[in-house]
Amino acid sequence: MDFDKSLKLTISEQNGRSFQVVVESGSALVGSGGHCDIRLGPELVAVEQLYFDIQPGGVFAEVRTSSPQVVVDGVPFQRGRVLEGRPFRIGKLEVLVELVDRVGGRSKSKEGVRPGLLVVAALVIGLGMYSLLARRGGSEDTDYKDAPSLFDTQAAQCPVLTPNATEAAVETWMRDAAGRHERSSFSPLDGVEAVGLYRRAAVCLRRIDRSPEADELSARADSLATRLEKDFHVHRVRLYRALNEGDGTAARHEVALLRGYLVQRGTEFAGWLDYLDRRLGLQGKK
């Protein structure tokens, strides 16, 4: 990475309103998520829309989601080198990326502006901005203390099957759940999936009048879920403590552990963990 250069992004709307931002950290994530470097309204972009990164061959871009579509010169774009003067179009928005000389020597200001980001100019009326980089008051890394539920919040459903097919399906789910349960101590995601399998099997057992066995499976699912939720909470607390204490090694370790619990990778919490991992990795290289 060229540490003498920064990213300059110009974001414009079709009606002519625009703003410019210089990102001194060498990479920039554009989206509607609170963890994004440039945060726009959800009616304009996805939670994570575009990621830019300075590499030895220039600036490279990656589209993080297929909707809304990102196009360059009328052609859908997925990933590759950013061509000079070729803007990215996302609906009614246009994003132009340039390499500029680093201003250098900046640190976190008294107002709490996030280090590595410099707002050059902003004319954001009508752009649906939630925030423009400068998150004031408190650490920028404590935006997402509330993690999503590890488990499906909707009640488990049993597919419509014949009694014999239901019994066969339940036996398959129970074997799968038992194996995942056994691995859950070192693979939390297996444990999360085991809870769902137990609960689905329990619903089906009640449908075929095997309630005592269903009750046993439900109790097993609840016990495993309680343990996983407690461990998940402990790792989140350890992560926030490491961030507050500036312990990047411990923080990155907890990020990796927390990722191991998440079935859904498209949530803002998962995106925040991805952002932290990238940022902590860059810090470790300096």
162's tokens: 């014949």
**3-state DSSP assignment of residue 93:** strand
pLDDT of res. 105: 44
Arch. (CATH architecture) of 5-137 = Sandwich (2.60)
pLDDT of res. 234: 87
Q: Which of 103-117, 137-151, 182-196, 264-278 has the lowest mean pLDDT?
A: 103-117
pLDDT of res. 211: 93
Q: What percent of the residues of the chain are helix, what percent strand, and what percent coil, each to the nearest 5?
A: 40, 20, 40
Segment 237-260 mean pLDDT: 87
pLDDT of res. 284: 60
Residues belonging to the chain: 286
Query: pLDDT tens for residues 132-180?
Result: 333 323 333 444 445 778 888 788 899 988 999 999 999 999 999 999 9
Report the distance separating Cα 144 and Cα 140, nearest Å.
9
Asked if residue 6 has pLDDT above 80, the reply is yes
Domain ranges of the chain: 5-137, 163-285
Asked if residue 24 has pLDDT above 90, the reply is no
Report the chain's mean pLDDT, rounded to a whole number. Answer: 79
pLDDT of res. 29: 86
pLDDT of res. 222: 93
More confident residue, 138 or 278: 278
Helices (H), 41-117: none
**How many other CB atoms are found less than 10 A from the CB of residue 1?**
12
pLDDT of res. 263: 81
Max mean pLDDT among 22-36, 142-156, 244-258 falls in: 244-258
Query: pLDDT tens for residues 55-82?
Result: 877 899 999 888 899 999 888 998 888 9
Tokens 């990933």 label which residue? 79
Q: Which of 12, 8, 37, 10 is nearest to 92 (CA)?
A: 12
More confident residue, 184 or 136: 184
CA distances 265 to 48, 53, 160, 163, 229, Å, are 11, 21, 29, 35, 17
Q: Of all helices (H) and strands (E), which one includes residue 97?
A: strand 93-101
Report the distance separating Cα 5 and Cα 279, nearest Å.
17
Look up the pTM and report it: 0.51
Asked if residue 203 has pLDDT above 90, the reply is yes
pLDDT of res. 20: 83
Q: Which of 97, 147, 127, 143 is nearest to 258 (CA)?
A: 147
